[in-house]
Structure 1
Amino acid sequence: MREDFLHYVWRFKKLNNTSLKTVQNNEVVIKDFGLYLGTEGPDFFNAQVYIDGQLWAGNVEMHINASDWYAHHHEIDPAYQNVILHVVWNNDLSVLRSNGTEIPTIVLKDYVSENVFNAYHQFKLNPQYIFCEDYIKQFNSFDWLLWKEKLMIERLEQFTNRIVTELKQTNNNWEEAFYRILLRNFGLNINGEVFYQVSKNLPLKIIRKEQAHLVHLEALFLGTANMLQSDREDYYLKTLQKTYSYLKQKYNLKQTVNSPSYHQLRPDNFPTIRLIQFASFIYNQPFLFDLIRNPESVSRNNYLLGATVSDYWQTHYVFGKEHKIRKKTVSQSFYNLLLINTILPFQYVYHQQLGKDIIDEVLQHYQSIDLEKNSTTEMFQKLQVPVKSSLDSQSVLFLKKNYCDLRRCLNCEIGIKLMNR
């Protein structure tokens, strides 16, 4: 038993509320069940309840056990002083307000039908990949479309929180914040944190001063990432070492503590190649924030899609080991990842703060990008869920991590729909 079942019963009025009584034997008539926000604080806000004919207006709090009130320390939290009704599954303890009066309490299991409880129990019985996989086919394509758009908006709000946090750390410098997050995502999951530290140790203002010299940019990125320590006899390595030594002293730069990893990476994702591609992109893109300021710029040549590497790196993945010439450009699939996780979220947040609503345009752009292929999207496809674009893949990834894995089935449109059959 989880509290989400109690929330579900109350939200959708799945209880027999014609003869409600508190454990104190007071008659209860619910005028308004209140508003469920799913945020911190009481579970339902602004409810209206008659208790023995007296109308009370305030909040409703729910727990599996009445004693959870004290386990969660609500007795010392001012946010819970306006609770007018305590709804529990097991009444194992009387709960008192700060003034010593007892809070009216309803034992919900006395008013829930066996059918509703059995449906909930069956729904969560013997889960495999996700709890509803035996029933998910009953969720039609139109409902999926609406739910996936809601999930994508939640996902964008999650991106918003990260971007706002970065803006605070950069004193509201949008271009610096974008530079940091973009470089972080160039490192993917394995090297993202190291690349992020590079961006913090190598501010954009320094990059701007050296932007006209590609060799300087390569030296700055590789040197700050602690990747020029090799003693190989390689002419280009020696050039970069000498260049970085000069620039490090000139700008008083710090290097990252940890070097990027090559572990389990394909050569095209080696940190050397990704940092050199980023240097090439910065070299050719004089106004970095144009990608965000002008949403249509992502459809034009913005030097990111197809960003290549300099001559040396066309025949090397690491220093000193030569191979046949390869262009090593930023591929469409990698560019799509940057669009999905960096550029489009930044456009959404930036224009939102300017008071411009571009949510439809952003969602349409996600819809136009090929889906991400991974174990989660493949599993949902096997369950016959329509997953065809990045909007779909981002939605089901968010659904799996933030609903399925956390067992928030009764906050999910699928779970609610199936429970209401």
Structure 2
Amino acid sequence: MKEDFLHYVWRFKKLHITSLKTVQNNNIVIKNFGLYLGTEGPDFFNSQVYIDGQLWAGNIEMHVNASDWYVHHHEIDPAYQNVILHVVWNNDISVVNKAGKELPTLVLKDYVNEDVFKAYHQFNANPQYVFCEDYLHHFNSFDWIIWKEKLMVDRLEQFSNRIVAELKQTNNNWEEAFYRLLLRNFGLNVNNENFYEIAQNLPLKIIRKEQTHPIHLEALFLGTANLLSVDTEDFYLQTLQKTYHFLKQKYHLKQTAIPPTFFKLRPDNFPTIRLVQFVAFLFNQPFLFNLIRNPETICTNNHLLGASVSDYWKTHYVFGKEHVARNKTISESFYNLLLVNTILPFQYVYHQQLGTDVLEEVLQHYQSIAAEKNSTIDLFKKLKVSVESSLDSQALLHLKKNYCDARRCLSCEVGIKLMNR
């Protein structure tokens, strides 16, 4: 039994609402079930309940066990002082409010039809990659459009939380925060934390001082990443080593404790290549924050797609091993990943804090970008879920991680719709 089942029953009135009584034997009539926000604080706000003919207005809190009231320390939390009804599944203890008066308590299981409970268990009985995959065809395309847009807004809010936290770390330095998180995403899932440490050890103010010297930038990034300690006779490596040694002393730099990994990565995703691509990116976009400050250019900076690595890296993936020349420019698919995971979320937060509502514009940008390709998106495609743009793919990634994996089926529009069948 989970608390979200209680929320589901209450939100969608899946209980016998006649002849309700508290455990204190008081008659209950629900005038307003309240507003479910799914945020901190009581579960349902602005409820209205008649108890023995007396109208009470306030909040309703729900627990599987009545004793959870004390487990969660609600007795000392001012946010719960206006609870007018305690709804529980098991009334294992009497709960009193701050004034020492027993809270009116409703035992929900006494008023829920067995079929509702069976449907809940059946829905969760055979967990698959996605619990509801055998029933998804009942969720129509129009409902998907609405739900995916809500999921995308939720995902933007998650991005916002990370950006706001980074701003605190950088004393509200927007450009520094953007630089750190952009470099982090250049590392993709495998090396993102390592690349983030590189950005912390190599502040943007140093990059600006050396921005007109690509070799200096390569030495700074590869040296800070601890990727120059290679034992091979390579003239370019030796040049970078000498350059980094000088710059390290000049700026009192620290290296990352552990170099980024190459393990199980395709050569195009090697950390050496991603870092020198970042150098090319910086060289082509000297005023990095213009990507955020000027929203009309956010998806039209196609010259960034042509940001090519230096001549040495056109014939190398690692030091000392040469191959046939390739340009190794930033690909459209990789740039799209930067857009959806860093640039667009930053644009959303930056302009929001300036008091400009750009949500619709940002969502339109997501709709104009091709969907990502990964195993999760492939799964939803096999289940006949439409994936036409990055708005769809980003929404579905958010759905899988925050609802499916967490088994929050009764907080999900798909789960609710299927349960209501």
Q: TM-score range by the shorter chain?
A: over 0.9
Q: Deviations over 1:372-419 (max 9, x none)?
A: 122211111111111222111111110011011111111111111122
Aligned to 2:50: 50
For residues 1-28 of structure 1, what are the alpha-carbon distances to aligned partners after superposition, in whole Å with 9 as ceiling and x for unaligned? 2111110111122222121100110011
Deviation at 1:302, TM superposition (A): 5.3
Identity %: 77
Q: Distance in 1 between matches of 2:41 and 2:300?
A: 47
> For residues 266-415 of structure 1, what are the structure 2 equivalents within 5 Å?
266-301=266-301, 303-415=303-415
Q: Is the 8 A contact 1:291 1:302 kept in 2?
A: no
Bigger mean CA offset, 268-277 vs 225-234: 225-234
Structure 1 residues 80-100: Cα deviation after superposition (integer angstroms, max 9, x where no partner)? 222211111111221122332
Secondary structure of the residue that 1:211 maps to in structure 2? coil
Structure 1 residue 57: deviation in Å? 1.9
* Secondary structure, aligned partner of 1:124: helix
What is the rounded CA distance, in whole Å, between the counterparts of 1:298 and 1:348 in structure 2?
11
The one-letter code matched in structure 1 to 2:240 is: L
* Cα distance between partner residues in 2 of 1:179 and 1:308: 19
Amino acid aligned to 2:2: R
Q: How many matched pairs?
A: 421
**Does structure 2 conserve the Cα–Cα contact (< 8 Å) formed by 1:9 and 1:15?**
yes
Query: Hey, what does 2:149 align to over in structure 1?
Result: 149
Contact 1:281/1:303 (<8 A) preserved: no
Provide the rounded CA distance (Å) in 2 between the counterparts of 1:286 and 1:367. 28
Match of 1:73 in 2: 73
Q: Is 2:84 the counterpart of 1:84?
A: yes
- Shift, 1:289, TM fit: 0.8
Q: What is the CA deviation profile of residues 301-351 of structure 1, one whole-angstrom value per residue up to 9, with x for unaligned ones?
A: 454323211011111111111111111111111111111101111111111
What is the letter of the counterpart of residue 50 of structure 2?
A: Y
Secondary structure in 2 matching 1:299: coil
TM (norm. structure 1) is: 0.97
Contact (CA 8 Å) 1:20, 1:29: kept in 2 or not? yes
Q: Which amino acid aligns with 2:263?
A: H
Q: Which deviations, in whole Å up to 9, do the C-alpha atoms of 1:27-83 show, x marking residues without a partner?
A: 111122122111122111221211112222222111111122222222233322222
Which residue identity does 2:214 align to in structure 1?
L
Map of 1:188 onto structure 2? 188
1:338 maps to amino acid:
L
Partner of 1:208: 208
Structure 1 position 10 matched with structure 2 position 10: yes
The secondary structure found in structure 2 opposite 1:88 is strand
Query: For the residues of structure 2 that align with 1:256 and 1:34, how far apart are their CA atoms?
Result: 52
| Superposed displacement of residue 117, structure 1 | 2.2
How far apart are the structure 1 equivalents of 2:310 and 2:405?
A: 44
Please say if residues 299 and 365 of structure 2, whose CA atoms lie closer than 8 Å, have aligned partners that are also in contact: no
Asked if structure 2 preserves the Cα contact closer than 8 Å seen for 1:351 and 1:357, the reply is yes
Which consecutive unaligned segments of at least 5 residues does structure 2 have? none
Q: Which amino acid aligns with 1:297?
A: T
Q: Deviation digits for residues 83-126 of structure 1, max 9, x if unmatched?
A: 21111111122112233221111111111123322322222221
Structure 1 residue runs of 4 or more that deviate by more than 6 Å after TM superposition? none
Q: Does 1:98 align with 2:128?
A: no
CA distance in 2 between counterparts of 1:136 and 1:326 reads 45
Secondary structure at the aligned position of 2:298 is classed as helix
* Whole-angstrom distance in 1 between the partners of 2:130 and 2:214: 50
Asked whether the 8 Å contact 1:285–1:302 carries over to 2, the reply is no
Greater displacement, 377-386 / 69-78:
69-78
Structure 1 residue aligned with 2:238: 238
Q: C-alpha offsets along residues 244-265 of structure 1, whole Å, 9 cap, x if unaligned? A: 1111111111111111110111
Partners of 1:98 and 1:292 in 2: how far apart? 50
CA distance in 2, matches of 1:320, 1:120: 61
Contact 1:187 1:271 in 2 (8 A): yes
**Cα offset, 1:232, TM superposition:** 1.7
1:137 aligns with 2:159: no
For 1:169 and 1:302, locate their aligned partners in 2 and report how far apart those are by CA, in whole Å.
31
Partner Cα separation in structure 2 for residue 346 and residue 180 of structure 1: 12
- Distance of 2:37 and 2:92 partners within structure 1: 27
Alpha carbons 2:340, 2:366 under 8 Å: kept: yes
1:207-265 per-residue CA deviation (whole Å, 9 max, x = no partner) reads 11111111111111111111111232111111111111111111111111111110111
- Aligned counterparts of 1:90 and 1:281: Cα–Cα separation in 2: 60
Distance in 2 (alpha carbons) for counterparts of 1:116 and 1:157? 33
Q: Which amino acid aligns with 1:117?
A: F
